[in-house]
Structure 1
Amino acid sequence: MIPAAFSLYPELDATTLSAFVAALESGDVTGLAPARAAEVSDVRAVASFSHVKVAGADGDLLDAALWRHNGSLPRPVIVMPSPWTNHGWLPYAVQASVFAARGYNVLAYSTRGFAGSEGQVDVAGPLDVADGSRALDHLIERSAGPVTKIGFLGDSYGSGISQLVAAHDTRVDAVVALSTWGDLGEAFYENRTRHVAAVEALLKAASKARLSPQTQSVFENVIADRDIRGVLRWAEPRSPFSHIKELNRRQVPIYFSHAWHETLFPGNQTLKMFNELTGPKRLDLSIGDHSGPEMTGMIGLPNRIWTNAHRWFDRHLKGIDNGITAEGQLLNEVMWGQTLEPRPTWHSVTEQVHRLYLVGGGELAEEPEAGWSASVLCGVDTPAAVADEIVRSGYDEIAGRPKAYRTGDIDRTVAAVWTADPEAEVTRLRGVPRLRVTYRAANSKSSFVAYLLSVAPDGTARLITHAPYTDLDSPPDSLVSADIDLQATAYDVPREHRLMLVIDARDPFYGDANLPRATLAFTSPEATPSYLDLPLG
């Protein structure tokens, strides 16, 4: 699931980006692609580029790059904290240049502990927030003319820092947060289930970074299931959701982008943040996984996420009426046909809810049925899975090659399966599916993962959405009632395809609270029947 040499940006060509930066410095565009050469010429015609050091918190020097216009004209500025990568600020080289050519002064910097920056990785803690303000100070002091408006833009790690700086520094006027998080605790610990593979991926992606002892300890505690309360206390101030009152008080405009099958920061916790914001806001949801939808823009190719990021800052930093606010708060890219659906709000996405009941015989039915039981053997993995590889599987999805699940290979002794009748017409799933299910666990701790699949007539399926669940409190041999939200989705179930709900007790992506060879017995009490609510649009 996580290769030994792992990057959150597997398609990032650092060699090409380094050549682009060298051309920014020298003006020699030999060897660059024509489009990149044109970008170098455009930015050098209006602004200078230089490597700089920013005096960050605690006296640590941060490696940075500055795009600076000459002359005394008033200008907006943009600060770009780096992603979670050993390349530091380099992934922003092309887009920062495009912003500069369009009239912005820009400073991109490597966050503390990464690449050429001093200090230790604080994971969007107080030192990172202070660094963001220091970087802004540096940019303002070196702007030749008055600064009109201020934006912060970040991808992944830099997106969380950007939101937090905006919550603490009243100078920030607008934010672009790509592949971001709202609640870091929920991203690490969803429905009381540890996101083990995601945390392992973050550790491997930061193999050359200098993690603080606290950061190292927190990550190891998630993996080893130690001091989870301490992890959540650590995560709270690092969650933009914890500072939403400050953002709302100032009505900070925030643009979000996110992937439907995000494996590092699952979408629902960002949706929670998005829905609580009261200022100008927009959310673009796309096919793929973490940072995949915006990756082509980082390497200089046309990309709607980056196009909208530019439009967002042009509207809120330059005051240009470019129509982006009139397009609604939401843009869904529907899996897998790539249709784009604008909506005025997230809540307008779901028009009605269709309830199907889990019944005996493995059916999803229109009426409830009590008295049945379906047992799941713990400790055994099944073909149902979140993803084959974190991040990398998302690129196959973007290319139109989502994983095909062979439903006939799912062993019904280690998974419980319910299947609906074939759809008579295309069924438009839009929103958050919700599952209520009751089960009996012999032990005091138990966990499972629920997957919603779309099954073709030939028995192959595509993953629509999923969610984990863990119970840590119930007495042994008691009935446990689980009410969970599956991750939000926009999916058209084709005619003659069937919806399938699969529940198993083991997925390497998550921490497992079950004892090996234990069983979970799923059922449906008459008073509280088990059901699946499908959001329809």
Structure 2
Amino acid sequence: MTSSRTTLRAAIGTVSAAVLAGAVLAGAPASAAPAPARTAATARPAATGSPTLRFVDITGAGGITLKANVFTPAGADGGRRYPLVVLPTSWAMPQVEYLAQARRLAEAGYVVVGYNSRGFWQSGGQIETAGPQDVADASKVVDWALAHTPADPHKVGMAGVSYGAGISLLAAASDKRIKAVAALSGWADLIGSIYSGRTPHLQAAAVLGGAGALTGRPSPELQQVLKDFLSADMSKEKDMIAWGRKRSPATYLDRINANGAAILLGNAWGDSLFPPDQYAAFFEKLKGPKRLEFRPGDHATAEGLGLLGLPNDTWNDSKRWLDHYLKGVDNGIDREPPVLLKSRSTGAYEGYKSWRDVPSAHRRIALDGTRRVHTGIDSGADGGLIFLSSMLDQFFRLPPMASIPLLPRSAAAVWQSAPYPTGQRVRGTTRLHTTVTSTASSGTAIAYLYDVGPLGLGKLVTHAPFTFHDKTPDRPFGVDLDLFATAYDVPAGHRLAVVVDTVDPLYIAQNPAGARLTFSSPADDPSYVSVPVRDQDHGS
């Protein structure tokens, strides 16, 4: 675990740099990509005065104090009621996080209450990680707003980024008053996000834990969960999964559907904390009004520009969503394709009827022959550095890269397709199926898909880790793995390469010293990677 602790310290040390880099890069040219067509009804109304802002204390669950700010539309009086939007802050962010967007909403006729989530900054209590008390806090804030502002009890919405998104979705399951939600860069499945493939996401947990300790008061329960998580203590796995399920909106899907809130989900292809697949799976199971938007970037970078008060497609669509489902504005958002994707390669928007409709075909790459690798050796293939790598991809189209011919075959299993004469538009979730034989009962591997140019330089398209336990040494077993969803265009003449190795700084690998992994393709169960592709139309 020495290397894991070293990586943990490095990840915590880079979080501030990553956040600062996001603010700087937000002005990069890629942010000026054209937005989808909008109807005239979405134009921002002329302001008739400035909203009023006041800072207040709100009593949360258990009697703690929540520090909050309230925007009220200009000219508001007791004779008129306005739609209410509640904004819980992101993890480790102060209560001023949403001031720019809150003012914009108030100028459009909303009462807006932003509050610091419990346990952070000046709010009372401890960090409960979107536990029951956090959900109860959201309802307490609604109660306060209905009693102390001209908010309409029949037009209540919530929105938020990251932690605020998760709390908003959970609140929609417990509070029937909530009619609309815009959940940006959040999670539907907490464990499926930071423990996908039964592999602890080291840098993600380190950043969350470090930022929480710096800006708030982690509860003893959270401290223990992080300790068990980062030590990869398998004896605590069931407890950790139960803790995460309690904090996952997907657990309360039936309640969310029964309450019927209109839900917009937005995320980035390269989100280091909450990968997009878990949002897509959740979206498909929602039965009420719904919308799914994926854009290039990393955690919260797709909407970060909007927090600074600058033009931003994500926040524009969030406001359109609230306008339609809280104010009844006929802006057409309910008639648009409910799945909106922005390509990492072109910056163009594509609309689809559902997540299932995103790929129009699947292309298989045969993982033929036998590949044997030694574990614990970093081959040079990896998923990059949390935040920074996906931000470089977002703004400069520079994903993590590796020279495929130079990858040591003793540490990395490699397969390549033939060149694609007309290229490939990868859209959706790539799936790997293979047979593994390990000399040890436990182990970790990471699968990567690369776009390989004529000189052998590979650009990372997607990847995902998987960890296995309690396997009989030297006995083959099957592995099925979903790589993180993406939208990436492979140029004509390029190949796709599949690489599997056993070390990646993003994750905690559990490979015993000296272990070896063998990847084979039995005749009765061939190994392959299935790549989702889209024909040249742009969806529907």
Per the alignment, residue 498 of structure 1 pairs with 495
Contact map agreement 1:261 1:289 (CA 8 A) in 2: yes
Q: Return the offset for 1:203.
A: 1.0
- The structure 2 residue matched to 1:410, chosen from 393, 407, 410, is 407
Q: Structure 1 residues 287, 380: CA separation in 2 closer, same or farther (over 3 Å shift)?
A: same
- Is 1:50–2:54 an aligned residue pair? yes
| 2:199 counterpart of 1:193 | yes
Equivalents in 2 of 1:252, 1:208: separation in Å? 32
SS, match of residue 516 in structure 1: coil
CA RMSD of aligned residues (A): 1.8
Q: Alignment partner for residue 260 of structure 1, among 242, 246, 269?
A: 269
Are the equivalent residues in 2 in contact too, given 1:289–1:391 (CA < 8 A)? yes
- Please give the alpha-carbon distance, in whole angstroms, between the structure 1 residues aligned to 2:23 and 2:67: 20
Q: Which runs of 5+ in 2 are unaligned?
A: 1-9, 25-43, 535-540
Other structure's SS at 2:476 match: strand
Corresponding residue number in structure 2 for 1:473: 470
Distance 1:12 1:262, change over 3 A: closer
Following superposition, the deviation at residue 193 of structure 1 comes to: 1.4
Distance 1:113 1:401 in 2: 37
Report the secondary structure of 1:191's partner residue: helix
Match of 2:450 in 1: 453
Partner of 2:127: 121
2:227 to 217, 220, 227: 220
- Comparing 304-313 with 327-336, which one deviates more in the overlay? 327-336
Output aligned runs, 1:73-84, within 5 Å. Answer: 73-84=80-91
1:527 aligns with 2:485: no
Aligned equivalents of 1:145 and 1:381: distance in 2?
57
| Matching residue of 1:29 | none
Whole-angstrom distance in 2 between the partners of 1:236 and 1:294: 27
- The worse-fitting range, judged by mean Cα deviation, of 392-401 and 443-452 is 392-401
Structure 1 segment 22-37 matched on structure 2, within 5 A: none
Which amino acid in structure 2 is aligned with residue 398 of structure 1? Q
Aligned to 1:400: 396
Paired with 1:75 and 1:182, the residues of 2 have a C-alpha distance of: 30
Cα pair distance change 1:429/1:92, threshold 3 Å: same
What do residues 377-416 of structure 1 show as CA deviations (whole Å, max 9, x unaligned)?
11111221112x2112222112123233332332111000
Question: Is residue 391 of structure 1 aligned with residue 387 of structure 2?
Answer: yes
**Residue equivalent to 1:366:** none
Quick one: distance in 1 between partners of 2:219 and 2:297?
Answer: 31
> Distance in 2 between the 1:46 and 1:334 partners?
38
8 Å CA contact retained: 1:9, 1:291: no
Deviates more, 1:64-73 or 1:106-115: 64-73
Q: Report deviation, 1:92.
A: 0.6
Distance 1:5 1:487 in 2: 23
Q: What letter is aligned with 1:399?
A: F
**Residue type of the alignment partner of 1:58:** G
Distance 1:9 1:84, change over 3 A: farther
What is the match of residue 381 of structure 1?
378
- 2:4 corresponds in structure 1 to none
Which residue does the alignment assign to 1:60? 64
Shift, 1:145, TM fit: 5.9
Where does residue 24 of structure 1 map in the other structure? none
Contact 1:286 1:332 in 2 (8 A): yes
Q: Counterparts of 2:169 and 2:151 in 1: how far apart (Å)? A: 26
Q: Show the counterpart of 1:269.
A: 278
**Structure 2 counterpart SS, 1:173:** strand
For 1:273 and 1:512, the matched residues in 2 are separated by 28
TM-aligned CA distance change 1:143 to 1:12, over 3 Å: farther
Contact 1:10 1:392 in 2 (8 A): no
CA–CA separation in structure 2 for the residues paired with 1:179 and 1:110: 18
Question: Structure 1's 122 and 3: CA in aligned 2 closer, same or farther, altered over 3 A?
Answer: closer
Unaligned runs of 5+ in 1: 15-38, 361-372
Contact kept in structure 2, 1:5 and 1:204, CA below 8 Å: no
Residue aligning to 1:27 = none
Q: What CA distance in whole angstroms lies between the structure 2 residues aligned with 1:272 and 1:135? A: 30
**Secondary structure at the residue paired with 1:181?**
coil
C-alpha separation in 2, matches of 1:238 and 1:414: 38
Q: Which residue of 2 aligns with 1:367?
A: none
Q: Which residue is equivalent to 2:433?
A: 436
Q: Deviations over 1:497-521 (max 9, x none)?
A: 1100000011121121211231101
CA deviation string 1:128-154 (max 9, x = no partner): 001100111111112236444010001
2:315 maps to 1:318 = no
**How big is the shift at 1:74?**
2.1
Once the two structures are TM-superposed, the CA of residue 489 in structure 1 deviates from its matched residue by: 1.5
CA shift digits 1:15-36 (9 cap, x unpaired): xxxxxxxxxxxxxxxxxxxxxx
Give deviations 1:289-313, integer Å, cap 9, x for gaps.
1001111111111110000000000
1:183 aligns with 2:189: yes
Deviation at 1:339, TM superposition (A): 1.2
1:165-203 per-residue CA deviation (whole Å, 9 max, x = no partner) reads 110011100100000101111112212111122111111
The 5 A counterparts of 1:365-380 are 373-380=370-377
How far does residue 13 in structure 1 lie from its aligned partner after superposition? 6.6
Kindly tell me the number of residue pairs found equivalent between the two proteins.
497
TM-score scaled by length of structure 1: 0.90
Opposite residue 106 of structure 2, the aligned amino acid is A
Alpha-carbon deviation of 1:323?
0.9
Query: For residues 145 and 268 of structure 1, what CA distance do their matches in structure 2 show?
Result: 36
Alpha-carbon distance in structure 1 between the residues aligned to 2:147 and 2:115: 16
Q: Give the alignment partner of residue 306 of structure 1, picking from 304, 315, 329.
A: 315
- 4+ residue segments displaced more than 4 Å: 11-14
Alignment of 1:86-101 (within 5 A): 87-101=93-107
What is the Cα deviation at residue 249 of structure 1? 1.2
Match of 1:130 among 123, 136, 160: 136
1:251 Cα shift? 2.1
2:173 corresponds to 1:164: no
Cα shift at 1:277: 0.5
Taking the aligned partners of 2:394 and 2:531, their CA distance within structure 1 comes to 25
Distance in 1, Cα, partners of 2:497 & 2:411: 16
After superposition, the Cα gap between the structure-2 partners of 1:399 and 1:98, relative to the gap in structure 1 and judged at 3 Å, is same
Aligned counterparts of 2:152 and 2:172: Cα–Cα separation in 1: 20
SS in 2 for 1:200: helix
Residue 202 (1) aligns with residue 208 (2) = yes
Q: Tell me if structure 2 keeps the 8 A contact 1:12–1:299.
A: no
Instruction: Note closer, same or farther for the CA distance 1:288–1:5 as it changes in structure 2 (3 Å cut).
Output: closer
